[in-house]
C-alpha cells in the first residue's frame, strides 16, 4: 500500500463553463468510493475497455459503479492502435443498441488513449451525445489524452482524422494502475510530461530533471505531482482554446516531426510518445537554428529524453519523406508545414520554417 492510499484525491478543474469537469488523481481510486460519487445519474452504464486492460481493472470498475447504476454492460475491444477504426467503434454501438441503452447511458473509458479516444467519440455520436467518464490507465492518457475532449478514430488515409471535440464528465486517474504498464509505455508517457516544461513551465522542467529516476521507478507521490502539474498546464491551455483555434496547438510540440516518424515507419513501429520525444529534440534544434533558444537548452532536453528511456535519433527516412508526411499534418495550412517552436524557455509559438533549414535539422538528428 502506498502513502497516497486513503488520502483524498488531488483535484484539477477544467474550466469550460457548462462543460467544466474535475480530474481526480490518486493511488487506489478504483477502490475509493468518494471518487465515484456525483457521477452523471442514469440507470445504465457501459464500460468500454480492451482485452489487455479489461482483465486487469474491469472487475474493480464494475464494483465501483455497482452502487450507482442498475445495469452495467461491458464491451471489450481488441487492443491496439490498428483497431482504432470505424469497424471497432461499431462494436460499441452494437452493444449500446442491442442492450437498449437510452440517451442517459454513461460510457466509461477504461484504458489508454486508444480506448479513451474511441469511447469519447462513441459518446459524442450515440443518440447525438451521451455522457462519458475517462478512467485512463496509461501515463500518456493520464497526462494528456483523457483531458481536453479530443476524440477520434483513424481512417486508412490518416490518423485521428474522424472525430469530435467532446468533453468527459470527469477524469479519474488511478495512479496504481500504472504499476502494470510496460516500461516502454511509461517512457512514452514521460515524453508528454516533459513536453509541458519547455512550452509552459521551466520550473516544472527543473522538477522533472530532479525527479526523473523516481518517475521511472513509478513512485506514487512523484507520479501524483507529475500528473497533477501536467493536467494543470493542459487545463490552463484548453480553458483558453478548447477547439484549437490558436494557443492549444502548442500542446503539439514535437508532434510535427513525430508524426512524420510514425507515418514514415508505419504506425505502431515507434510508440506515439517515442516519436514525440524524438520530435521534440528535432523541434528544439529547429528553434535553436532560428535563433530562439541556446544550444544548452536543446542539449538539456536531449539528455532528459535519454534518461526517460526515449529515442533521440530519428530514423533515416530521407528528408523528402519527412517533408511529405509533415505536409499532411493537421497543423499544415495549404501544404505549408507549421512547427511548434520554443521561442523562449517556457514559451512556444507556431510558425513555418524554410524547407532547407528543416532539411538540415533532419540530417543532423537522424541516423546516417
Ligand atoms: P494505448 O491506449 O494503445 O495503450 C498502450 C498499451 O498499454 C496498450 O497495449 C494498452 O492495452 C496497454 N495498457 C493500458 N493501460 C495499461 C495498464 N495499466 N497496464 C498494462 N497495460 C496497459 O496507448 P496510449 O499511449 O495510452 O494512447 C495513444 C493514443 O492516444 C493514440 O491513439 C493517440 O492518437 C491518442 N492521443 C490522443 C490525445 C488526445 O488529446 N485525445 C492526445 C495524445 C494521444
Ligand atoms: N494532445 C494535444 C491536445 O490535446 O491538444
Tens-digit pLDDT profile for residues 240-275: 999 999 999 999 999 999 999 999 998 889 999 999
**pTM summary value:** 0.96
Which one is catalytic: 234, 288, 325, 338?
Answer: 234
CATH class given for the domain over 10-180: alpha beta
Q: How confident is the model at residue 6 (pLDDT cuts 50, 70, 90)?
A: low
Please indicate whether residue 234 is annotated as part of the active site: yes
Pocket of ligand 2 (CB under 6 A): 144, 148, 150, 248, 251-252
- Quote the CA–CA distance of 284 and 2 in Å, as a whole number: 37
Mean pLDDT of 198-212: 98
pLDDT at 88: 98
pLDDT at 25: 98
Please indicate whether residue 83 is annotated as part of the active site: no
The domain limits of the chain are: 10-180, 189-365
- Quote the CA–CA distance of 290 and 56 in Å, as a whole number: 48
Q: C-alpha angle with apex 253: 251 to 256, nearest 5 degrees?
A: 115
Residue to substitute in 16, 251, 276 for testing ligand 2 pocket (most ligand atoms within 8 angstroms of CB)? 251
Mean pLDDT of 219-234: 98
The verdict on the CB of residue 274 being under 6 Å from ligand 1 is: no
CA dist 122 to 54, 87, 115, 277, Å? 18, 12, 10, 30
Residue to substitute in 252, 255, 275, 280 for testing ligand 2 pocket (most ligand atoms within 8 angstroms of CB)? 252
pLDDT at 330: 72
Residue 2 has pLDDT above 80, yes or no: no
pLDDT at 4: 47
Residue 5 has pLDDT above 80, yes or no: no
Ligand nearest to the CA of 267: 1
Residue 158 has pLDDT above 90, yes or no: no
pLDDT at 3: 45
Please indicate whether residue 170 is annotated as part of the active site: no
Which one is catalytic: 19, 68, 218, 248?
Answer: 248
Task: Write down the CATH number for the domain with range 189-365.
Answer: 1.20.1090.10
Task: Locate the ligand 1 atom nearest the alpha carbon of residue 192 and give its number.
Answer: 43
How confident is the model over 104-119, as pLDDT tens digits?
999 999 999 999 999 9
Please indicate whether residue 192 is annotated as part of the active site: yes
Residue 333 has pLDDT above 60, yes or no: yes
CA dist 33 to 28, 39, 41, 223, Å? 10, 12, 16, 22
Amino acid at each position: 500500500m502506498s502513502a497516497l492510499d486513503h488520502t483524498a484525491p488531488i483535484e484539477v478543474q477544467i474550466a469550460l463553463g457548462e462543460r467544466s469537469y474535475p480530474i481526480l488523481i490518486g493511488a487506489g481510486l478504483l477502490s475509493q468510493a468518494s471518487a465515484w460519487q456525483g457521477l452523471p445519474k442514469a440507470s445504465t452504464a457501459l464500460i468500454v475497455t480492451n482485452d489487455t486492460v479489461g482483465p486487469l481493472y474491469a472487475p474493480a470498475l464494475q464494483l465501483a459503479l455497482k452502487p450507482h447504476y442498475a445495469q452495467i454492460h461491458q464491451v471489450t475491444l481488441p487492443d491496439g492502435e490498428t483497431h482504432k477504426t470505424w469497424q471497432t467503434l461499431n462494436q460499441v454501438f452494437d452493444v449500446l443498441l442491442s442492450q437498449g441503452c437510452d440517451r442517459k447511458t454513461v460510457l466509461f473509458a477504461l484504458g489508454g488513449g486508444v480506448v479513451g479516444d474511441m469511447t469519447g467519440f462513441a459518446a459524442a455520436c450515440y443518440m447525438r451525445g451521451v455522457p462519458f467518464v475517462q478512467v485512463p490507465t496509461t501515463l500518456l492518457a493520464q497526462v494528456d489524452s483523457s483531458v481536453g475532449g479530443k476524440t477520434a478514430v483513424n481512417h486508412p488515409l490518416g490518423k485521428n482524422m474522424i472525430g469530435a471535440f467532446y468533453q468527459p464528465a470527469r477524469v479519474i486517474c488511478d495512479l496504481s494502475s500504472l504499476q502494470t504498464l510496460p516500461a516502454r509505455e511509461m517512457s512514452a508517457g514521460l515524453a508528454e510530461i516533459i513536453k509541458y516544461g519547455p512550452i509552459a513551465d521551466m520550473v516544472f522542467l527543473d522538477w522533472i530533471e530532479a525527479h526523473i529516476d523516481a518517475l521511472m521507478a513509478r513512485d506514487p507521490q512523484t507520479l501524483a505531482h507529475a500528473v497533477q502539474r501536467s493536467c494543470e498546464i493542459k487545463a490552463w491551455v484548453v480553458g483558453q482554446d478548447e477547439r484549437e483555434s490558436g494557443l492549444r496547438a502548442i500542446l503539439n510540440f514535437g508532434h510535427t516531426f513525430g508524426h512524420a516518424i510514425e507515418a514514415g515507419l508505419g504506425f505502431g513501429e515507434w510508440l506515439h510518445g517515442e516519436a514525440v520525444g524524438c520530435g521534440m529534440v528535432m523541434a528544439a534544434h529547429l528553434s535553436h537554428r532560428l535563433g530562439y533558444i541556446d544550444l544548452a537548452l536543446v542539449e538539456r532536453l536531449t539528455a532528459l529524453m535519454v534518461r526517460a528511456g526515449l529515442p533521440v535519433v530519428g530514423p533515416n527516412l530521407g528528408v523528402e519523406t519527412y517533408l511529405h508526411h509533415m505536409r499532411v499534418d493537421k497543423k499544415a495550412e495549404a501544404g505549408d508545414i507549421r512547427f511548434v517552436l520554443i521561442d523562449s524557455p517556457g514559451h512556444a509559438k507556431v510558425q513555418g520554417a524554410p524547407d532547407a533549414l528543416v532539411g538540415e535539422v533532419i540530417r543532423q538528428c537522424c541516423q546516417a
